[in-house]
Amino acid sequence: MDEDFIGPERLTNEKFMILPSPFRIYQTLIEHRVRTHWHEFFEMAFVRSGAGTHILNGNPIPISRGHSFLLTPADFHEIVPDSSQPLQIYNLIFTNRFIRDELMPHIFEGISVHSCLFQAEECEFIEQAYKRIWEEAHNWRSDSEFIVQGSIERLLIDLSRKCRQAIDTPQWAGNTAVHEGVRKSLIYIQHHFRTTLSLEEVASYCGLSTNYFSECFSRMIGMPFQVYVKEARLQFAKSLLGTTTLPITDICFASGFNTLPYFERAFKQKFAVSPRDYRKSSVY
C-alpha cells in the first residue's frame, strides 16, 4: 500500500456547483486513471466512446459506448480507461433538490446499483438527450429550465427502467401510509448510511413517530433499523476492502462507523475474519 495515500477525494458542491444552478453538465475526455473519490452531489454519466473499467463501490464494471450510470452521495467510484481507447463521457451533476420527491421511488426503489448498457438503437436517443441539455446549458433562455428538467427526468427514468429489467424488484403488499413510509426510509438509508443516521431522524423524514416507525420497519424488513443500517455499512466496507487500496481506517469512517475498534469487532462478528485478514485474502 502507498504510505503517502491520503484517502479518497471528496468532490464538493462548493467546488463543482459554482453557478447558482442545481445542475452542471460536462463533456469529459478520460485518458488516465481517475482515482477513487466520492461526491456531495448526484452524478449521471453516459459513455460516448472508448472503453475501460468503472469501479463502483469496489465492484469493477467494464464500460464502453452505451454504458450509463448514476451515483449518489453515498457512492465511491474510480474510472480506469483502456490505454488505447480513452473514454469520452457526458457527465451531468446535480443536487438532491433537482429530483422531485414523487420521482424518488421510481428511480431508486429496488435498485442498489444504477449501471446499465443501452443498446445501439437506444444510444442515439440517450446521447441526443445529453446533447440537448448541453446546448440549453450553454445557450440559456427563459424556458430552458423546463427542457433541462424534463430531459434529466427522462434520462433518470430510462436508466432506472433499464437497471430494473435485470433484477427482481421487491413487491410490498398493500399501499398504506405505513408501507410508503418504510419504503421511503429504504431510499433515504441507501443515500445516507455513510453518515450519522439515527432512528429518530429517519422516522421524522418518513412522517412517522419513532416507536411506530421502528415497529413497522422491523416487521416489514425482518430486522431492526440499526441492524439494517449496520449491515449496509459492513457490506460497503467489505466491498472497498476487497477491491481498493484505501487504508482500513479510511474505509471504517467512510462506511459510517465512528470508531475503528467498533468497526473491527462488527466486521469480524459478521464475516468471521478481521478487516486486515479479509484484505490479505482478497485480490485487488
For residue 68, give Cα distances in angstroms to 4, 40, 104, 163, 177: 33, 20, 18, 10, 33
Sequence-separated (6 or more) residues with CB below 8 Å from residue 146: none
Q: What pLDDT, on a 0 to 100 scale, did the predictor assign at position 26?
A: 94
Q: Are strands 9-11 and 34-39 parallel, antiparallel or unpaired?
A: parallel
Spatial contact of 13 and 95, defined as CB atoms under 8 Å apart: yes
pLDDT tens per residue across span 109-161: 878 789 999 999 999 999 999 999 999 999 999 999 999 999 999 999 999 99
Domain boundaries, the chain: 9-164, 177-281
For residue 11, give Cα distances in angstroms to 20, 91, 269, 280: 17, 14, 33, 30
CATH code of the domain occupying 177-281: 1.10.10.60
What is the model's pTM? 0.75
Q: What pLDDT, on a 0 to 100 scale, did the predictor assign at position 8?
A: 54
CATH code of the domain occupying 9-164: 2.60.120.280
The amino acid present at 4, given as its one-letter code, is D
Instruction: Give yes or no for residue 16 having a pLDDT over 80.
Output: no
Share of the chain above pLDDT 70, in %: 88
Q: What pLDDT, on a 0 to 100 scale, did the predictor assign at position 267?
A: 97
End-to-end CA distance of the chain: 11
Spatial contact of 192 and 215, defined as CB atoms under 8 Å apart: no
